[in-house]
Amino acid sequence: MHKKFCKRFNRYYASPDFDRLEAHEKVDALLLTHLAAEISGTGFSPSRASEVSTFLSLLPGPATGARRPPTCPLSTKEGPLEDLDALYARCGNNNFAIHSHLNTIAHGIFPLASRLFNHSCLPNAAAKFIILPSRPARMDVVALRDIAMGEEICITYVDPALLQSRQQIYQLTYGFTCSCLSCTLMEGISRVPPLPASEDALKSLNTALRLFVSPSFDRDVSEARLPARPLSDIPSHLVPVFQESYLTKLSGTFSSTSHDGPYDIALDVGLTVLAIYSLIYPPNYPQIGMHLLEMAKTAWNAIIIAEQNEDLAGTAEMDLEKRARAYLRLSSDVLNVLGPEGDPGGPLEEIQVLRNLLDGN
């Protein structure tokens, strides 16, 4: 395919039109150039013809969000056999982020799933991908809870944790307004109050949120159960936690401290993140399981540090071990609903490794 545009590529790549594109638009422009080259001239194989016509049968995205980036001019006399605007208008609306161990690694079109599944911010199902060498990635959709006969099966298109910006993303990329329970509630809160400015007031907010959502975690952790608090129950003094920056800041602190310490801070912040996840996501949502696994790993790291420190050994170690086991049990409960996913290895194997370490094997 490259032959069809390589002579013109350097000029295109250095052009102001290409240069002013956002990074993700540049990727789109390059992919579209490859596709244009592939489906122009003699390069359009019969199998590709049926793939392209399947793709063209999918719903296009909204016209406003589908401004096609400029592609590299082709050196062949024949242009693409399909209208590039029509192809591009279907990209955003139908592409799935392919993830392995919940990290996005690629994008792909899965026509059947595109036709079947609408979005909900409180989905009853989740997509996973099975990735094996020399095979195309396979998409499976797994129920997160019992689904009644006739109930619509929905997945998420966008992370529901983007509480304040998600409606805009649905509008611009997919052309719909979400009317799920979570969005209806968010709409009812006309203005999310700002977060408290002082560190002390913020700490009190964290504590109040945890006591409201998951008190058992701050009591006897070995008995802890995952909370399923409906968003609608939230008292007005906790509403500032719906500021998107609240979760962003907490997740940033958890991510840095869970790797490098101090682990006591990571474990504390981690519980607040768990509380907000339990409010925003439906039960068994994979992100909750992944977070619990990170919490278990953090508790394990803290055990290692406690072992090296005579002052901390003993009670602290026992308490940390209890916590690690509880987080691991809950993480396993959640992640086993989704089952193995991505490429080989992954969180379910990590759970087993950590279990063995805790059991001294």
Q: CB-wise, 133 or 188, nearer to ligand SAM?
A: 188
Shortest spacing between CB 94 and ligand SAM, in angstroms: 5
| Structure token pair of residue 336 | 């086993």
**Residue 174 makes contact with ligand SAM by CB under 6 A:** yes
Q: Tell me if 299 sits within 8 A of 320, measured CB to CB.
A: yes
Shortest spacing between CB 85 and ligand SAM, in angstroms: 17
**Residue 258 makes contact with ligand SAM by CB under 6 A:** no
CA distance 358 to 292: 16
Site for ligand SAM in 311-340 (CB under 6 A): none
Q: CB-wise, 174 or 263, nearer to ligand SAM?
A: 174
Q: CB-wise, 37 or 122, nearer to ligand SAM?
A: 122
Q: Tell me if 266 sits within 8 A of 257, measured CB to CB.
A: yes
Q: Give the range of 41-49, 111-119, 193-201, 325-333 binding ligand SAM by CB under 6 A.
A: 111-119
**Residue 175 makes contact with ligand SAM by CB under 6 A:** yes
Shortest spacing between CB 51 and ligand SAM, in angstroms: 17
Q: Give the range of 16-24, 123-131, 174-182, 272-280 binding ligand SAM by CB under 6 A.
A: 174-182
Q: Shortest CA distance to 203 belongs to which of 255, 256, 258, 249?
A: 249
CA distance to 147, 161, 218, 348, 354, per residue, from 282 (Å)? 13, 11, 21, 20, 26
Residue nearest to ligand SAM (CB): 118
Site for ligand SAM in 114-133 (CB under 6 A): 114-115, 118-120
Buried b (16+ CB within 10 A) or exposed e, 253-282: bbeebbeeeebeebbbbbbbbbbbbbbbbb
**Residue 36 makes contact with ligand SAM by CB under 6 A:** no
CA distance 287 to 356: 23
Q: CB-wise, 109 or 312, nearer to ligand SAM?
A: 109
**Residue 94 makes contact with ligand SAM by CB under 6 A:** yes
**Residue 107 makes contact with ligand SAM by CB under 6 A:** no
Count, residues near ligand SAM per rule CB under 6 A: 12
Shortest spacing between CB 289 and ligand SAM, in angstroms: 24
Q: CB-wise, 71 or 94, nearer to ligand SAM?
A: 94
Other Cβ atoms less than 10 A from the Cβ of 44: the count is 16
| Helices and strands in the chain: count of H runs, count of E runs | 15, 6
Q: Going residue by residue from 206 to 245, which x/- string records binding to ligand SAM, judged by CB under 6 A?
A: ----------------------------------------
Shortest spacing between CB 203 and ligand SAM, in angstroms: 37
CA distance 340 to 342: 7
**Residue 156 makes contact with ligand SAM by CB under 6 A:** no
**Residue 93 makes contact with ligand SAM by CB under 6 A:** yes
Q: Tell me if 77 sits within 8 A of 39, measured CB to CB.
A: no
SS3 226: coil
- Choosing from 155, 178, 293, 335, the residue that interacts with ligand SAM (CB under 6 A) is 178
CA distance 239 to 128: 32
What's the angle, vertex CA 280, arms to CA 277 and CA 285, rounded to 5? 65
What's the angle, vertex CA 193, arms to CA 192 and CA 195, rounded to 5? 115
Site for ligand SAM in 46-75 (CB under 6 A): 59
**Residue 176 makes contact with ligand SAM by CB under 6 A:** yes
Calculate Rg over the CA atoms of the chain: 24
The site for ligand SAM (CB under 6 A) is made up of 59, 93-94, 114-115, 118-120, 174-176, 178
